[in-house]
Structure 1
Amino acid sequence: MPILAAKFDPTATDVRLDSDLLHIVMADGRELSVPLEWFPRLRDASPEQRAHWRFIGRGKGIHWPDVDEDISVASLLRLS
């Protein structure tokens, strides 16, 4: 009987934000959504500030320069 050999890769490949949630897409296909309430700087930021982000550490984290916020993907996985 075959078994699934999943390779987990906690590297982010895309980021989306809506009014209530931060959505992270990872290289292995998983998607993680967490409440913006966990991140007051992002929660209180304008849509333009939220949209201005970049990956750090080759997708190991996300940085929002306009609000000085850094979030590591590993920490989100531990929290969720």
Structure 2
Amino acid sequence: MPLFTTRKQEKKVKVIFNNGLLIVEKDGGKQQVFPLEWFPALRNASDEDREDWLQTDKGIHFNKLGLDVSII
């Protein structure tokens, strides 16, 4: 009998800030790029605030900023 699980596998992403951009790199190397102009809270945030994030099932949640960024 096959085993089934309702838990989704955790996907790993890398979050990079470079030249006014937020770059989210997925496991296979695919990148999504967002201008920080779209997220004033991130644009003005300290490095410490930017580094405090979690991956959610819909994207990235920046804990100290209370900000969610959806990724595909």
TM normalised by structure 1 equals: 0.66
Highest RCO, 1 vs 2 (Cα 8 Å, sep ≥ 6)? 1
Aligned partners of 2:47 and 2:19: how far apart in 1?
9
Aligned partners of 1:28 and 1:19: how far apart in 2?
23
Query: Letter of the aligned partner of 1:14 in structure 2?
Result: K
Give the length in aligned residue pairs: 62
Indicate if the aligned counterparts of 2:32 and 2:71 stay in contact, CA closer than 8 A.
no
Q: State the structure with more CA Rg.
A: 2
Secondary structure in structure 1 of the residue aligned to 2:64: coil
Per-residue CA deviations over 1:46-74 (Å, capped at 9, x if unaligned) read 111011111011xx310111111001103
TM normalised by structure 2 equals: 0.73
Identity level (%)? 37
Query: Letter of the aligned partner of 2:16 in structure 1?
Result: R
Q: CA RMSD in A?
A: 1.7
- Stretches of structure 1 that go unaligned for 5 or more consecutive residues are 1-10, 75-80
Query: Letter of the aligned partner of 1:68 in structure 2?
Result: G
1:73 maps to what in 2?
71
Q: Between Structure 1 and Structure 2, which shows a larger proportion of helix residues? A: 1
1:29 maps to what in 2?
29
